[in-house]
Structure 1
Amino acid sequence: MASPAPFSRYEFLIAWRYLRARRAEGGVSVMTWISLIGIALGVMALIATLAVRSGFRAEYVDTILGANAHSTIYYAPTSFYNELTEETYISPGRIEDYDALAAKIAQIPGVTRATPVVRAQVMASQADAANVAEVYGVTLDTLKAMERIADPETSGGNIDDFDRGVALGVGLARELGVGVGDKVQLTAPQGAKTPFGTTPRRESYDVVYVFSAGRYDIDRTRIYMPMPEAQSFFNREGVADEIEVFVSDPEQVDNWTPQLLDAAGERAQVWTWRDASGDFLRALDIEDNVMFLILGILVLIASMNITSGLIMLVKNKGRDIGILRTMGLTEGAVLRVFFLCGAFTGVLGTIAGVILGVALALNVEHIMTFLNWASNGGAWNASVRGIYELPAKLRGIDIAKAVGLSLFLSFVVTIFPARRAARMNPVEALRYE
C-alpha cells in the first residue's frame, strides 16, 4: 500500500483541529490568538511604514523635478591679474551665446528641453515686510513647461500675464502680504554703476501669478521674472547665468553629463538634481533599510510566540501523538501536522496584517489631518519636513517584502517544535496513559 503524499488532506484536518481546540481539550487557542495578533500588527506596521516612506520619497522627488531643472550647465568664473593695480580680478562665468548653446544642447538625444536662465538674489519687500528671495529670469514657455509651477489647481492669477509682471511663490507672497494684482519691490545689491560706485537697484513689479511648487523652501523664496527684464535688472544684457536642461529619464540624469560637457565646451560645469539632493535621498534609503530591519525584528518577536504555543501544544498532545504514531503515521507526517499548525497562524496573521496595513496606508492623509487638527498643526510642520503633507504610496514590492518576511519567519520558527513532536517516542508518550 502506497504511503499518502506529503501535506495530504488529513494532515491539514488534524492541524486545523488542534488549532481550534479549547484549552480544556489540551489546545492553546489563547497563545495562538496572541501570535496571530502580534504578526498582524507587525505586518501592518511594516506595510504602512514602507508605504509612507515610498510616498514621502516620491513626493519629494516630484517636487524637485516639477520645479527645477534636471541638470544645470554653468561656466566657472575666470580670474586675471592687472599688472597696473597689482590686483587679481575674478570675472563671473557668463554665457554669451546662450540661445545657440541651448539649441545645440537640445539636439542631444534624450534631452527634452534646454533653456537659458538669469539667476540672482534680491530683497523682496512690501510695506514693512521683507524677505530674501531668489529670482529666476525665464521665458513664458519655460514657466509653462514646469508642471508644479504651472498647475492651475495650486496657483492663482493668469500665467499668460507673466510678461507683464512677476510670479511669486505662495509662501513668499504670504509673508509679504501680497496677492495677484499687488506690487512687490525688489532690491538688487548690484545695480547702476556711478562715479561713486555701484548703487543698489530698486524696482516695483506687479504680481501677476502666485504658485505653489509643493515644497516649503521653494514657495518661500522663489520669484520668476521675464528673461529680458531680468537681464536689464541684474546688468546681464546679452548674457545668461546658466542653461537649464531637462531629460527624458530624470532618474538616469547622470548618463547625460559627459555629452552636456562636450556640447558646452571648456570651463563648463554640470550640476544635476542628484548632486543637489543626492545626500538626502541616500539618507532616506538608509533610513528605509533601518526601519525595515527594526520592524522585521518586531515581526520576529511576534513569530516567536508561535514557537511557545507549539511547544505547549506538543506537550499537551503527547498522548495523541503516540496514538497517531501507533496507527501508522510517520515522523514526517507528524512533523508536517505541527508545522501546519504554526504555518496556519503565520498565514492568517499575515493576511490580517496586509488588510490592516493597506487600509492604514490608504487613509494616512486623513489620519495626519486629524492629528494636525488635534495638535494645532504640530504633527506635521512643512518648514521642517519640506513638503506640505505626508503621502503614502503602496507598491507591490513593499507588500511582497512584508509578506515574504512574515511567512519566512513564521515557517522557520515552527520547525523546532514540529521536529520535537515528530521525534517523540510513541511508547514513552503512552506509558502512563
Structure 2
Amino acid sequence: MASTPPPFARFEWMIAWRYLRARRAEGGVSVMTWISLIGITLAVFALIATLAVRSGFRSEFVGTILGANAHVTLYSHGALNAAGQMERSITDFDAMAARVATVPGVIRAAPLIKGQVMANARQRNAGVEVFGISKPGILTIPGVAQSDGAMGDLDRFEDGVAIGSGVARELGVSPGDRIKLISPNGVKTPFGTSPRVKAYEVVYIFTAGRYDIDRTRLYMPFAEAQSFFNREGVADEIEVMITDPEAVDLKILPLLRAADGAVGVWTWRDASGGFLRALEVEDNVMFIILSILVLIATMNIVSGLIMLVKNKGRDIGILRTIGLSEGSVMRVFFICGAFTGVLGTLFGVILGCLFASYIDPIFSFVNFVMGGGVWDPSIRGIYALPAELNLPDVLSAVGLSLGLSFVVTIFPARRAARLNPVEALRYE
C-alpha cells in the first residue's frame, strides 16, 4: 500500500514553482505577482523605516534630556519669611546633598542655583537661563563635559562661565570673550532695586544636542551664582544623577527619606512626560496605519492567486484526477502566495535596514535637492533626523508582513483545493 506523502513534499514545491513562472499567455498572473511583490516590499520598507525613525527620535530625545539635565530634582515646598513672602530656598543644602548621595544608585547630588538673565555682548542680546553649579558637578554632566565640538577649557570653569553653542552664536562670542549678564533683581537701594550688571569671561562653549538647551543655557560657578542672585547661604534645588534613569520612579521614596525635610521631587519623566506620551501615541497610530498599508499590499496576493486558480482550473482537475489530495493542491497554491510574501518581506527588510543605516547621507541629499532648510532644529529641538535600528522593531515588521501574507493566501488556496475536478474538465 502506497504511503501518503508528507506535507510540503518536493513535488508540491516543483508544481508551485512552475506556476510562479507564468508564460506569456498568462501575463496577467505575472503582472499581479510583480505588483504584490513590489507592494509588500515598499510596505515593509516603510514600516521598518518609520519604526527606526521613531526609535531614533525617542532615543535622541531621552539621550539629550539625560545628558544635560538632572535625573531628579529636589526642591523645597517653601515657607513664609518675615516679610510674608514665600521662600523656597534650601538652607541645609550641603547636609541634604550628602545624605542623598548615600542612597544606592545615586551618582551625584549637588546644590544648584537657577535664574534668568539677559546676556549682552557688542550690542547683541540674548535671554539665558543661568545654572549655578560647582566644578565637580558640571564635570559629571555628559552633554556639557563630553560635548562634541566643544570649544574652550572646562578646567577653567571657576574663572568664568560656560555657555551653549546657540547662545554663543546669538551673541557672536567665542572662548576668551567677555559677556555681560544683566539681572533686574540686583542691589537694593533707598531708591529701589537697581539692576545688577557684571561681566564674565566665556571659558567654555558646549553643544548638548538639543536646540532649546544650547540656545538658552549658561553655567556659572555655584558661589558666584549665589552672589549674583543674592542667594548667599542657600540653594534653590538639589540636582541628583542616578545610575539607571529609566528606573527613576523606584528612587523617589528613598530620595525623599534621605532628604529628611519638606521637599518635593521632580524627575526627568515629569519634565518631559507630555512629549514622551505624545510620542507613544504617535508610535501606536503610525504602526496601525502602516499595518493597514501592509495588509493592502498583501491583498494583491489574493488577486493574483484567484487569477492563477482560474487560469489553472484544467491543471487542478488533472492533478486531482491522478490522485492529488485537496491538501496537496491547497499547499501548492499556498506556496505560490507565501513565496511572494516572503520575497517581498525580505526585500523590504533589506531596503529598510539600508535606509536606517545610511539615513544621514540620504537626508543630506534630500536637503540638497530641496535647497536646504528641510530640517529646522528650532522647531524639532534636535539637529538631524535620527534613526535607530532595533531588532524587536525589525522582527515585528517581519512577523506582521509574513503573518498577513500567509493568512490572506489561505482563502484562494482553499478555493483551488475545493475545485471539483469534474467541473474543471467538463469543457476540456
- Contact 2:48–2:353 (Cα < 8 Å) also in 1: yes
1:184 — aligned with what? Answer: 179
Determine the C-alpha separation between the residues in 1 that align with 2:16 and 2:68: 59
1:431 — aligned with what? Answer: 426
- Contact 2:147–2:207 (Cα < 8 Å) also in 1: no
**CA distance 1:26–1:321, change in 2 (3 Å):** farther
* Displaced runs of 4 or more, over 6 A: none
1:85 — aligned with what? Answer: none
Determine the C-alpha separation between the residues in 1 that align with 2:427 and 2:355: 52
Determine the C-alpha separation between the residues in 2 that align with 1:153 and 1:41: 36
Three-state SS of the structure 2 residue aligned to 1:352 is: helix
The answer to whether 1:268 aligns with 2:269 is no
- Contact 1:120–1:136 (Cα < 8 Å) also in 2: yes
The answer to whether 1:193 aligns with 2:194 is no
Determine the C-alpha separation between the residues in 2 that align with 1:28 and 1:244: 67
Normalising by structure 2, what TM-score?
0.97
Question: Quick check: 364-373 or 103-112, which moved more?
Answer: 364-373
| Letter paired with 1:311 | I
Per the TM alignment, residue 219 of structure 1 is displaced from its structure 2 partner at its CA by 0.5
Alignment of 1:197-216 (within 5 A): 197-216=192-211
| Letter paired with 1:4 | P
Determine the C-alpha separation between the residues in 2 that align with 1:408 and 1:252: 35
Determine the C-alpha separation between the residues in 1 that align with 2:265 and 2:312: 71
| Letter paired with 1:29 | S
| Letter paired with 2:279 | L
In structure 1, stretches of 5+ residues that fail to align are 83-87
Q: Which of residues 300, 305, 308 is equivalent to 1:305?
A: 300
Q: Which of residues 372, 375, 381 is equivalent to 1:386?
A: 381
Three-state SS of the structure 2 residue aligned to 1:213 is: coil
1:89 — aligned with what? Answer: 84
1:333 — aligned with what? Answer: 328
Per the TM alignment, residue 113 of structure 1 is displaced from its structure 2 partner at its CA by 1.0
Determine the C-alpha separation between the residues in 1 that align with 2:26 and 2:276: 56
| Letter paired with 2:320 | R
Per the TM alignment, residue 296 of structure 1 is displaced from its structure 2 partner at its CA by 1.0
- Contact 1:26–1:316 (Cα < 8 Å) also in 2: no
* RMSD, aligned α-carbons: 1.3
Determine the C-alpha separation between the residues in 2 that align with 1:196 and 1:294: 65
Three-state SS of the structure 2 residue aligned to 1:148 is: helix
Alignment of 1:33-432 (within 5 A): 33-79=34-80, 89-151=84-146, 153-432=148-427
State how many pairs are aligned. 427
Per the TM alignment, residue 152 of structure 1 is displaced from its structure 2 partner at its CA by 5.1
- Identity of matched residues, %: 63
**CA distance 1:430–1:26, change in 2 (3 Å):** farther
Determine the C-alpha separation between the residues in 1 that align with 2:333 and 2:216: 64
Three-state SS of the structure 1 residue aligned to 2:204 is: strand
Determine the C-alpha separation between the residues in 2 that align with 1:311 and 1:55: 41
Three-state SS of the structure 1 residue aligned to 2:85 is: strand
Three-state SS of the structure 2 residue aligned to 1:271 is: strand
| Letter paired with 1:3 | T
- Contact 2:148–2:207 (Cα < 8 Å) also in 1: no
Determine the C-alpha separation between the residues in 1 that align with 2:27 and 2:411: 20
Residues 221-253 of structure 1, C-alpha deviations (whole Å, 9 max, x = no match) = 000001111111111111111000111110111
- Contact 2:147–2:208 (Cα < 8 Å) also in 1: no
Question: Quick check: 17-26 or 295-304, which moved more?
Answer: 17-26
In structure 2, stretches of 5+ residues that fail to align are none
Determine the C-alpha separation between the residues in 2 that align with 1:138 and 1:21: 74
Per the TM alignment, residue 26 of structure 1 is displaced from its structure 2 partner at its CA by 7.5
- Contact 1:182–1:207 (Cα < 8 Å) also in 2: yes
Three-state SS of the structure 2 residue aligned to 1:199 is: strand
Determine the C-alpha separation between the residues in 2 that align with 1:252 and 1:313: 55
- Contact 1:257–1:270 (Cα < 8 Å) also in 2: yes
Three-state SS of the structure 2 residue aligned to 1:189 is: strand
Determine the C-alpha separation between the residues in 1 that align with 2:41 and 2:88: 60
| Letter paired with 2:170 | E
